[in-house]
Amino acid sequence: MKNLKIAIQKSGRLNEKSVQLLKNCGLDFENYKSSLITIVSNFNLEILFLRDDDIPDYVEQGIADLGIVGENVIDESLAKVDYLQRLGFGKCTLKLAVPKDSNFNDIKDLDGKSIATSYPNILGKFLKDKQISAEIHPISGSVEIAPGLGLSEAICDIVSTGGTLKNNGLKPFADVSTSEAILIGRAGLAENPILCELLQRIQSVLRAKETKYVVLNVEKTNLPQITELLQGVKSPTIVPLAEEGWVAVHTVIPEEDFWGKINTLKSAGAQGIVVMPIEKIIL
């Protein structure tokens, strides 16, 4: 079978997690920083290491079959590619920001103003939808210094913690869009058996990440209450402990449910609660 090619970021914020995801899928490859391409030894896949901005176009043109890249980069590129799977990392928000002391109260206050951004296409569409006419200054980097230099009155840039904005005397003003890393594919790839296998593996890794394996001890008399609390699990495994009258409950639950329930479980008699990561969940 002919290998598929997947493009991932060569270096930067998405590189490490993209490599880790593929490794967690059981793919065996050398992660040479210096090479453009590496071959997976135990799967029909080759990995191309590229600048993130090039990935959507490479996939659209079929130079790569698949890509892992931020939604912001895909939308800005206007490339026509299929969204195959949201990957849950590289989360960030494209925000409008203005100098701290300016008194913008409403998004309409941007009317007639100038905005510097590396995302002119996304911003242009956003402003059009909101029927705001502002002047867009496309610049390729260090957007946050534009107001200080007198280049623009506002900026539109990627923010995750907001620290860079603050350091440059800016405050976020409105959200334009949110983004995370996405697996994209070229048109017409959907039925490809290599892709189907890869997608299945990726989904089992993602499911496992959101879920924890929990073991807890409880006196038999309290068991009904505990299993009631762990509803939603098809059927927990109950194992007797060496100590008479006690059992261990083994179960798999979404992590977010667990943290909300921990105190209720404890007051219902759960003891020695152990929470473990899961590597894969295959349905």
| Interface residues toward ligand ATP, by CB under 6 A | 9, 12-14, 51-53, 70, 72-73, 90, 92, 158, 160, 179
Q: Which of residues 177 and 217 has its CB atom nearest to ligand ATP in the complex? A: 177
Q: Is residue 53 part of the contact set for Zn ion (CB under 5 A)?
A: yes
> Per the structure block, which two tokens stand in for 16?
């490490």
Nearer to ligand ATP, 140 or 231 (CB): 140
The residues that bridge with 276 in the sheet, in sequence order, are 213
Residue 189 near which of ligand ATP, Zn ion, none (CB within 5-8 Å, type-dependent):
none
Return the structure tokens found at 54: 């090039």
Strand-strand pairing, 211-219 and 4-9: unpaired
Which span sits near Zn ion by CB under 5 A: 33-41, 44-52, 134-142, 218-226? 44-52
- List beta partners, residue 47: 6, 38
List the single partner that 18 binds among Zn ion, ligand ATP, none, CB under 5 to 8 Å by kind: none
Do 18 and 8 contact (CB within 8 A), yes or no? Answer: yes
Residue 109 contact partner, candidates Zn ion, ligand ATP, none, CB within 5 to 8 A by sort of partner: none
Q: Which two tokens stand for residue 142?
A: 């260090």
54 touching Zn ion, by CB under 5 A: no
- Cβ proximity to Zn ion, 64 vs 226, nearer residue: 64
State which residue, 179 or 211, has the beta carbon closest to ligand ATP.
Answer: 179
Question: Rounded to 5 degrees, what angle do the CA atoms 200, 203, 204 make?
Answer: 85
Smallest gap, in angstroms, from Cβ of residue 165 to ligand ATP?
A: 11
CA dihedral over 95, 97, 100, 103, signed as positive or negative: negative
Q: Is 146 helix (H, G, I), strand (E, B) or coil?
A: coil
Q: Which stretch binds Zn ion (CB under 5 A): 32-40, 46-54, 77-85, 221-229?
A: 46-54
Of 52, 60, 71, 76, the one binding Zn ion (CB under 5 A) is: 52
The Cβ of residue 210 has, within 10 Å, a number of other Cβ atoms equal to 12
Residue (59 or 252) nearer to ligand ATP, CB: 59
Q: How far is CA 109 from CA 72, 113, 178, in A?
A: 25, 8, 22
Q: Centre a 10 Å sphere on the Cβ of residue 88 and count the other Cβ atoms it contains.
A: 13
Q: In b/e form, how buried is each residue of 46-70, taking b as 16+ CB within 10 angstroms?
A: bbbbbebebbbbbbbeeebbbbbbb
Which of Zn ion, ligand ATP, none does residue 92 bind (CB under 5 to 8 Å by kind)? ligand ATP
Interface region with Zn ion, contact rule CB under 5 A, candidates 50-58, 189-197, 198-206, 257-265: 50-58
Kindly write out the interface string for residues 217-246 of this chain, putting x where it contacts Zn ion by CB under 5 A and - elsewhere: ------------------------------
Q: Which residues bind Zn ion (CB under 5 A)?
A: 52-53
